[in-house]
A and B are shown apart, each in its own frame.
Chain A
Amino acid sequence: MILIGELSLWVALLMAAWTTTVSFAGARLGRDDLVASGERGIYASFAFILLASMGLWTALLSHDFSFTYVASFTSANLPTLYTLTAFWAGQAGSLLFWALILSLYSAIAVFANRHRNRVLMPYVTGVLGATLLFFVATICFGANPYERLGWVPADGRGLNPQLQNPGMAFHPPNLYLGYVATTIPFAFAIAALITRKLDAEWLAAVRRWSLISWFFLTIGITLGMWWAYVELGWGGYWAWDPVENASFLPWLTGTAFLHSIMVQEKRGMLRKWNVVLVVTTFLLAILGTFITRSGVISSVHSFAQSPVGTWFVGFLAVAVGVTVWLVATRLKDLETKAGLESLLSREAAFLYNNLILVGIAFSVLWGTLFPILSEAVRGTKITVGPPFFNAVNIPLGLTLLLLTGIGPLIAWRRASAANLRRQFAAPAAAGVIALAFLAALGMRAGWALASYALGAFVAMTIVQEFAKGVGARRRLHGEGMAVAFVRLVGRNRRRYGGYIVHAGVVVLFAAFAGLAFKSEHDVTLTTGQAFEATDPYGHKWRFVSQGISQFEALNRQVTAIGLDATRDGRREGVIRSEKRQHVDSRGEATFEPSTEVGILEAPSQDVYVVLAGVRGQDTAELRISFNPLVWWVWYGGMIMAFGGLIVMWPQADPAGGRRGAARAQSGYRTTLDPAGAPAGSA
C-alpha cells in the first residue's frame, strides 16, 4: 500500500499535467474528445492522490519509521487519533492534504457541471488541473512525504504536544477545506474572463463554492482561536500573528464577495469588482499557505523554512500576472449598465460593507507584511503588533457591525423616509437603551459601550425581521409559533440563514468587547494557601491550593496543581493546571515540557489558571485570569457557521423539478440553457 501510494503520487503528477494540457487544447481547438479526456483526467488525479494519501496514512498507522515524515511526527505510543492527524502535522503532509482536497473538490465540480456551463468547463478544468499540477509538483520535488530517512530509528520523535489536542486535530483540515474551496471560484472566474461570458451565470456557479469556503474558514478560524486559548496558555485567542492573519484575509474578501454578489444579482452592478474579489480571495488563500509555509515572516507559528516558499512566490506571480492581463483586456465586457441611485439604499450599504471588509483586509495585510516592506524601503525591520491591528480594526469593525444592522433592512435603489422609520425605529431605540443601561451600571470603556449599543441595534433588527416573518406566516397559514419559525427559515434560507450569521456576528462582537474587562493576577501559592480576588462582575473569588501532584500518564509525565475555587463563599469546583513532559515509548523525554491550562468555564466568564512553574515540593507559581465572555466567542463562531450551513443547504425546487437541477438553482435566478439540459445519458 505504501509503495502504491508513493507511485500514485507520480502518476497523479502526470495526470494533472495531462488534464491541464488537453483541457486548454480542447477548449482552444473546440475538440470535445480532448475536453472529455481532461475531465476524466481530473477524476483520475483524484483517485491517484487518494491512493497516495492512503499510502501515507498506512505508513503512519503501521509506524514505518523508515520514512522521515513518519519518524518526525509520530511515535509508537501516540494515540491513534493523533497518528491519523499527524498526516497534516508537517509541511509535506499538509501539501499532500491540500492536493487531496483540491482534487476532490475539482472532481465534484467537474461532475456537478457535466451538463452545465459547458462553454466554461474546459477552461475551468484546465485551471484546476494547472493548480493541481503546481501542488503535486511541489510535493514531488519540494517536500515529499515519502522521503526516506536512510536508517530506521527504534521509535519516532513523536507529535509536538501542543498539536496533541482535539482542536489542532480538526483546525487545519477545516482551514484547508476553506482555503482550497477558493480555487473553484477562481477557476470559474478565469474561465469566464477567457470566454468573455461574464454575465450572471458564472456567478451562480461559484456562489455555493464561495459559501463552502466561507463555512469551513469560519469553523477553522474558530477552532484555531479555541486551540490557541486552551493550549498556548497566554490567556487570549487572537494575537494578530501572521499565520492567524493569513487565515483571516481570505475570509474577509470571501465575506465581501458573498455580499457583493447579491448586488450584481439584483442590480447588475459591480461586475469588475466581483471578478477581482474572487481572484483576490484565491490569491490570499495561496498567500496564506505561503506565509505559513515559507517562514518569510517571523511568526510564533514557526514552521520549517523551506525552498517550497520560492515555488509559491512563482505560482502567485503567474496567477497575478494572468489575472491582471485578462481583466485588462476584458474591461469592456465588464461594463455595468446600472448605477447607484441613492446613498440611502441597500446597494450603498453593501458597497460600504465591501469597502470596509476590503479595508480591514488591506490593513491586516499591510500590518502583516510591514516588517518586509519597511526592510525593503528603509533598511530596518519595523514590526507592528496587536496595538496597530486593534487601533485600525476596532473602529472599522464597529462600522461594519452598524452596517450589519442597516444592510438587510434598507430598501434597494432608494429608501424612503417611511421605510427608514418603519425599519429602524425599534432597533435604534434598543441601541440607545442598551447604551444608557450599561452606562448607568458604570461601564466606561468606550469601545465596549459602542459594541454593546451597536450589538443591541443589530440584534433588534434581526428579532424584528423574524417576528415579522413568523407573524405573517401565522396570520396567513394559521401555523403555530415553532412551525411558522421553521418554515420561515426553511423557505427563505438565504435570507434567514443570513440573519442567523449576523446574530453570530453580534455574539462575537459582544464577546470581543468582554476582553476590555479582563484581569490577571500572578500569584505564588504553597499547599493550603489561599488567594483572593474580585472578578470584573464584582464577585469575590477564593482559590486554595490543594498541593502539587506528580504522576505518569499514557505518553507523558505530569506535574499538576489543583485549586479549590469558591465564588462568594459557594464552591465552584477544582481547577487543574498541568506541566507535561512528553516521553516516547522507552520513557525518554521528547520535546520541551508543555503547559496544560486549567479553565473553569462559564457563559459569564472563564477563570483561567496557568501553572507557570513549581518551586520545591509544594510551591507553585500561577497566573490566574478572569476572562469575561470568552465562551461566547466559540458559540458566536458556531452560530455563524450554522447560519452559513442553512444558507447553502440545497433547497428543493418548489416546482418539483429534477433534484439535480433544483440544487443547481436554489436561491438564485439562472436560466438553464436548454442545450445544456440533460439528454439522458451523456
Chain B
Amino acid sequence: MKARTKFIVGGAGLFGIAGWLMVTSIRQTGVYYLTPQELSAKVAADSTFYDAGVKVGARVVPGSIQRSPGGIQVAFRVTDGAVTYPVEYRGLIPDTFTDSVDVVVEGRLGRDGTFHATTLLAKCASRYENAPDKYRQTPGYKSAEKRA
C-alpha cells in the first residue's frame, strides 16, 4: 500500500472516531433548549419529558424571587409570557440574578409542575452593554434625572 493511501486510511479512521465520539456524545449529553411554552407542549405530547434533563430559557417573574436566608437556595418563577413555571434551585447564585433578567435553567420538570434546576445562568442584557432606553431605567439615573 502506498504511504498516501495509508495516510488517508489513517486520517479517515481518525475522523471516523472523532465523528463517532461527536454523534454519541450529542445523543447522550445533548439537551433540549426550550421556552416554557415549548416545554409545556412537549410534556403534553409526551409524558417522558417529565423528569428528563432540559434547559429552559425564560425571564424571571418580577417579585417572585424567594431567597433562603444565606442565599444558597432560591425559589422563583420563570415565564415567556405564555406559560409560567415555578423553579427551585440550590447552589451558587450568579451575581447577575435578579428580577426580570433572562435566565437559562438546566434541570428537570417534576410531575408536580415545579422545575428543579441544577444550574442557573443569569443573562442580563445590560451586563456588558446596555441599550440607552434600558439605561434610563437604572435607579441611579432616575434620581439623577430628577435632580438635573
Which residues in A have some Cβ–Cβ distance to B below 8 Å? 68, 71-72, 89-91, 149, 151-155, 157, 160, 162-163, 233-234, 298, 300-305, 339-343, 345, 348, 351-352, 355-356, 359, 362-363, 366-367, 370-371, 374, 380-385, 387-388, 391-392, 395-396, 399, 522, 524, 584, 586, 588-590, 592-595, 610, 612-616, 619-621, 623
Contact = CB atoms under 8 A, between A and B. Distances in A.
B22 interface: yes
Chain A interface mostly helix, strand, loop or mixed?
mixed
Contacts of B52: none
Q: Which of B14, B67, B129 has the most CB of A within 10 A?
A: B129
Contacts of A298: 33, 57, 104, 123
B138 A615 contact: no
Contacts, number: 188
Nearest to B147: A154
A614 B67 CA distance: 11
A370 B30 contact: yes
Nearest to A390: B25
A584 B98 contact: no
B72 A522 contact: yes
Contact of A383 (B33, B69, B95, B141): B33
A380 B57 contact: no
Interface in B95-143: 95-98, 102, 104, 121, 123-125, 127-132, 135, 138-141, 143
Given A72-B129, A304-B130, A366-B22, A592 B30 contact: no
Contact of B139 (A351, A380, A392, A588): A588
B11 A383 contact: no
B97 to A, nearest CB: 7
Nearest to B92: A612
B28 to A, nearest CB: 7
A379 B135 CA distance: 35
B107 to A, nearest CB: 13
B104 A381 contact: no
B77 interface: no
Given A157-B141, A298-B123, A387-B29, A614 B11 contact: no
B125 A72 contact: no
A301 B96 CA distance: 12
B76 to A, nearest CB: 15
Given A163-B128, A352-B10, A387-B28, A157 B140 contact: yes
B45 interface: no
B62 interface: no
A259 to B, nearest CB: 15
9 contacts: A71-B135, A72-B130, A154-B144, A302-B102, A382-B30, A383-B33, A391-B25, A392-B21, A620-B70
Interface in B16-70: 17-18, 21-22, 24-26, 28-34, 38, 55, 57, 67, 69-70
Contact of B70 (A381, A395, A524): A524
B14 A359 contact: yes
B82 interface: no
B15 A355 contact: yes
Contacts of A392: 18, 21-22, 25
Given A588-B139, A614-B70, A384 B26 contact: yes
Contact of A588 (B32, B143, B145): B143
Nearest to A305: B125
Q: Which of B24, B33, B98, B124 has the most CB of A within 10 A?
A: B33
Given A352-B14, A396-B18, A589 B140 contact: yes
A612 B121 CA distance: 15
A161 to B, nearest CB: 8
A392 B124 CA distance: 31
A342 to B, nearest CB: 5
A374 B34 CA distance: 12
B10 A301 contact: no
Contacts of B127: 160, 162, 301-303
Q: Which of B67, B70, B124 has the most CB of A within 10 A?
A: B70
Nearest to B102: A302
A592 B98 contact: yes
A380 B31 contact: no
A586 B140 CA distance: 9
A615 B69 CA distance: 5
B93 interface: yes
Contacts of B125: 302, 304-305
B144 A153 contact: yes
Contact of A233 (B28, B92, B139, B147): B92
A370 B128 CA distance: 25
A594 B17 CA distance: 43
Given A385-B31, A594-B95, A359 B123 contact: no
B123 A234 contact: no
Contacts of B34: 380-381
B93 A387 contact: no
List the 8 closest A-B pairs by CB distance, nearest first.
A613-B71, A304-B129, A615-B70, A391-B25, A387-B29, A381-B33, A621-B70, A615-B69
A155 B148 CA distance: 11
Contacts of B26: 370, 382, 384, 388
A422 to B, nearest CB: 22
Contact of B95 (A351, A356, A595, A616): A595
A382 B129 contact: no
A91 B123 CA distance: 17
B32 A382 contact: yes
Q: Which of B29, B140, B144 has the most CB of A within 10 A?
A: B140
Contacts of B102: 302
Contacts of A371: 33
Contact of A621 (B33, B72, B143): B72
B123 A90 contact: no
Nearest to B72: A621
B71 to A, nearest CB: 2
A157 B92 contact: no
A74 to B, nearest CB: 13
Given A71-B135, A233-B95, A610-B92, 18 more contacts: A89-B128, A90-B128, A151-B145, A233-B92, A234-B92, A300-B121, A302-B128, A343-B3, A352-B14, A380-B32, A381-B33, A382-B26, A384-B30, A395-B21, A524-B72, A612-B72, A613-B71, A621-B72
